[in-house]
A and B are shown apart, each in its own frame.
Chain A
């Protein structure tokens, strides 16, 4: 029995349990390597427990953008403040997603470049 393989599979299972999904992948870039995936608090963990799955790179970007959100006014935050931060978090996600979509589209076009006839 390959103990290294079994140990890795046990880690993979623990990661999936942590992420709460049988087939996790990054909501933004689609990366499905369990070793790179993390749970991201959409509104920021002070405001709402809802998470989605992000790869480390995307998670780092989103967490950085969260630093630009308005500071917490009351502790614990009101429902309205939590909701506002959730919407800001969703906006960040869509913004990152839009960037990724453009990136994918550009790369695809770049790849197709030699075969495309220049438009006159």
Chain B
């Protein structure tokens, strides 16, 4: 497999993909009207049928004035409730003295009167679903809400529709659209002084919780976490005949939602940020709120005339974190290590805060200077903090088998992935200086550059203000005198140290403070700089794109709008330096005669080579970790490359236990110990499994499998069990064949559950919905199920979908091919066992030795670039790929 002259593998002739910057200066961004506060809040929740239509049955609501309950009630749809149920609801309302009204009256007298006329905060848990239950129909939203739905809720044309645009599983944009009546008087219209529309204040408690607590919650879990007075009640009566208990359950849901909102609002108020709470939709919103609180103007505002050609060059150097498997499908004794706060750390080391607060940046040619730096650099230079500060540069070169991140479609039809591979190209390409020096360290070969552009931060912006992170007076950060990222991590370390000595009440408060610091550091150290919002256009639009070789025009239906704090230089420098840190570990590992099994963005599993004594392995691995202590930029020092808790014994957290790793491909791995020859799983990956509905859970676990001994975090019980079987198969010597009969539920058809969150997704049900009224149709934001066609012949062409049904067996009977509309038989659908059949041999196509049957070390490819594909933001909407 190798070319003997160069000791390189034979080249793969591939097109490589490079990120391109699309200029959208002409597009007018949506400008929010000034926020007018309201003393009212409307909280509501809907209960629906459990069939495919998920239509409204009844709902409950509260109206609050300055937080005080002033009215509550229930509303209903008399088309879905029968006479007895309507009577029961009426009796309930009379008994408890609450309002009782048809849904239309609720919409007019409460949703519009309070939510629109009086600007009440409209609060709910998973609001898009509830609002779409109240609608009379749906349409396709326009302008800034393009790609979303618009819902008429009233027959009164003076009442505006509500537009909802799904952004991610955690958040959606919601607003009232312009009404059909003039809200500006004739005189003002003549003077072109238009009064802004009332957009409404929509607060989805699920979104707010995810942003403030950095985790997704159901309402039940959230009420537990926040310890609110009225916990969510349990019920199994969804879809059954209406009972008083079920009505009580619905009414309590509204109270629980309100209490959760109040608890979250208290947390938010403690942060002392001036951004209104309904604008907080993610951790990134919090990051932006902190920057805005300090008065930091976004780079694009400071330097609107920055040449787009140069942005194109910078953006072409952008690659994400490094995620690779180096020893595949082979059990390895490992030491699993990760970097302390990787992105804030590289920001600190390179002094990027100066760029964040600067009034723009300057650039200059530094070809000779940078070539000299590359020529002379060695691994020990990175112990000198000044070396890191010189990395704010990008370079142009013609790669000659240098080791660079390469984004390519390594297997036809599999989509692009990024791997650190040898790259040769006749056409010059741009890379970060960090990638360039990483290549030298790992190959020993000095890249010859054609050009280097060095960037320097401009003078600091005037009028910046200090900010108290988490609202804590002792967490004051002065943007001029502190390195924001450094200060945040130091404060967090101090607080975590205090937590160990604190009482339980104080520890709880300190935990909230350290979480606020963690969110602030992570939210401001990377994601916001590469925020790109993709817009779905109704027809092809011509855009000017900028790449490494200049500009060109292209037609696209998906346009990109950079986010507020978009700063491609910072984004690429940060991920480039993170890859460099991993390259340093790789270098030290090789230097010490060790090996590595996998790496993932900020972590690496250092592997013991065959024949090495355990004591020697531990000593060498610890020495590597200690080497990085000198690179720790934080006050107080300590380990920068930490030995993770998973390496320590479950019984004695202070002593190291033998940790093993079994890795299949990028992000698919398991870490475990063995006790009496049986695996005890420490960490499992859910990568490649998260889209599937769980076939079973803790209520009906597998009978003969060991229960998990650690918190699985995001992973589920069945993920644990699958990895358990993969390890057992490997231990028993038949790693390619795993037992997929450990639970009867695996025989059921495998299903994924999505929401019909965009008009494109809902269009799958066009034939189903034809001729039906909104009430009887599959609606926006309904759940929908997808299945996989079983036979290989069908697999490639059939796209099996089914409308949601609580009873999955019933749902399967309604499965059809969304392309042809043809019905699909149950026997033609893949079972879970079939769907998982190749999970444990999933190929790592970006490397040699990564094919299905390959085991052992993978090795870098030698990619010979035969073309450049210019790409935009990679699609991350899995459901739309179905």
Complex Cα–Cα for A39 and B198 (A): 18
In the complex, which residues 1-37 of chain A have their Cβ closer than 8 Å to any Cβ of chain B? 1, 6, 9-10, 13-14, 16-18, 20-22
Q: Does A78 contact B (CB under 8 A)?
A: no
Q: Does A114 contact B (CB under 8 A)?
A: no
A-contact bits for B168-204, CB 8 A (1 contact / 0 none):
0000000000000001000010011101101000000
In the complex, which residues 112-127 of chain B have their Cβ closer than 8 Å to any Cβ of chain A? 113, 117-119
Complex Cα–Cα for A18 and B189 (A): 12
Task: Find out whether the CB atom of A49 lies under 8 angstroms from the CB atom of B71.
Answer: no
Q: Of B71, B183, B188, B192, which contacts A1 at CB under 8 A?
A: B71
Task: Find out whether the CB atom of B198 lies under 8 angstroms from the CB atom of A17.
Answer: yes
Q: Of B36, B118, B183, which contacts A22 at CB under 8 A?
A: B36
Q: Does A57 contact B (CB under 8 A)?
A: no
Report the count of interface residues on B (CB-CB < 8 A).
Answer: 20
Q: Of A10, A21, A49, which contacts B192 at CB under 8 A?
A: A49
Complex Cα–Cα for A49 and B188 (A): 11
Report the count of interface residues on A (CB-CB < 8 A).
Answer: 17
Complex Cα–Cα for A17 and B201 (A): 14
In the complex, which residues 258-274 of chain B have their Cβ closer than 8 Å to any Cβ of chain A? none
Complex Cα–Cα for A36 and B193 (A): 19
Task: Find out whether the CB atom of A18 lies under 8 angstroms from the CB atom of B195.
Answer: yes
Give B114 Cβ to nearest chain A Cβ, in Å: 8
Q: Does A60 contact B (CB under 8 A)?
A: no
Give B160 Cβ to nearest chain A Cβ, in Å: 14
Task: Find out whether the CB atom of B195 lies under 8 angstroms from the CB atom of A22.
Answer: no
Which residues does chain A contribute within 8 Å of B71, judged by CB atoms? Answer: 1
Task: Find out whether the CB atom of B35 lies under 8 angstroms from the CB atom of A17.
Answer: no
Q: Interface majority SS on B: helix, strand, loop or mixed?
A: loop
Which residues does chain A contribute within 8 Å of B33, judged by CB atoms? Answer: 17, 20
Complex Cα–Cα for A17 and B194 (A): 10
Give A77 Cβ to nearest chain B Cβ, in Å: 15
Q: Does A45 contact B (CB under 8 A)?
A: yes
Given contacts A22-B35, A22-B37, contact A13 B193 (CB under 8 A): no
Which residues does chain B contribute within 8 Å of A51, judged by CB atoms? Answer: 193
Complex Cα–Cα for A6 and B196 (A): 21
Residue of B nearest to A18 (CB): B195
Q: Of B70, B118, B188, B191, which contacts A13 at CB under 8 A?
A: B118
Which residues does chain A contribute within 8 Å of B117, judged by CB atoms? Answer: 6, 10, 13
Which residues does chain B contribute within 8 Å of A10, judged by CB atoms? Answer: 113, 117-118
Q: Does B611 contact A (CB under 8 A)?
A: no
Given contacts A22-B34, A22-B35, A22-B36, contact A17 B195 (CB under 8 A): yes
Q: Of A6, A13, A18, A20, which contacts B119 at CB under 8 A?
A: A13
In the complex, which residues 6-38 of chain B have their Cβ closer than 8 Å to any Cβ of chain A? 33-38
Complex Cα–Cα for A49 and B38 (A): 28
Task: Find out whether the CB atom of A17 lies under 8 angstroms from the CB atom of B196.
Answer: yes
Task: Find out whether the CB atom of A20 lies under 8 angstroms from the CB atom of B196.
Answer: yes
Complex Cα–Cα for A9 and B117 (A): 8
In the complex, which residues 47-105 of chain B have their Cβ closer than 8 Å to any Cβ of chain A? 70-71
Given contacts A6-B118, A10-B118, contact A21 B193 (CB under 8 A): no
Residue of B nearest to A10 (CB): B117
In the complex, which residues 43-92 of chain A have their Cβ closer than 8 Å to any Cβ of chain B? 45, 49, 51
Complex Cα–Cα for A10 and B70 (A): 17
Complex Cα–Cα for A14 and B118 (A): 9
Which residues does chain A contribute within 8 Å of B198, judged by CB atoms? Answer: 13, 17
Complex Cα–Cα for A39 and B118 (A): 21
Give A12 Cβ to nearest chain B Cβ, in Å: 9
Residue of B nearest to A7 (CB): B117
Give A32 Cβ to nearest chain B Cβ, in Å: 15
Which residues does chain A contribute within 8 Å of B38, judged by CB atoms? Answer: 13
Give B197 Cβ to nearest chain A Cβ, in Å: 9
Which residues does chain B contribute within 8 Å of A1, judged by CB atoms? Answer: 70-71
Which residues does chain A contribute within 8 Å of B195, judged by CB atoms? Answer: 14, 17-18
Which residues does chain B contribute within 8 Å of A14, judged by CB atoms? Answer: 183, 195
Task: Find out whether the CB atom of B34 lies under 8 angstroms from the CB atom of A21.
Answer: yes
Complex Cα–Cα for A49 and B198 (A): 21
Complex Cα–Cα for A14 and B195 (A): 9
Given contacts A6-B113, A9-B118, A13-B118, contact A49 B193 (CB under 8 A): yes
Which residues does chain B contribute within 8 Å of A6, judged by CB atoms? Answer: 113, 117-118
Complex Cα–Cα for A120 and B198 (A): 62
Complex Cα–Cα for A21 and B195 (A): 12
Give A21 Cβ to nearest chain B Cβ, in Å: 6
Q: Of B36, B183, B193, which contacts A16 at CB under 8 A?
A: B36
Residue of A nearest to B35 (CB): A22
8 contacts between A and B (CB under 8 A): A14-B183, A20-B34, A20-B196, A21-B34, A21-B36, A22-B35, A45-B191, A51-B193
Known: A1-B71, A9-B118, A20-B196. 17 other contacts (CB 8 A): A1-B70, A6-B113, A10-B118, A13-B36, A13-B118, A14-B195, A17-B36, A17-B195, A17-B196, A17-B198, A20-B33, A20-B34, A21-B34, A22-B34, A41-B191, A45-B191, A49-B192
Q: Which residues of A contact B (CB under 8 A)?
A: 1, 6, 9-10, 13-14, 16-18, 20-22, 39, 41, 45, 49, 51
4 tightest Cβ-Cβ pairs between the two chains A and B? A10-B117, A18-B195, A16-B36, A20-B34
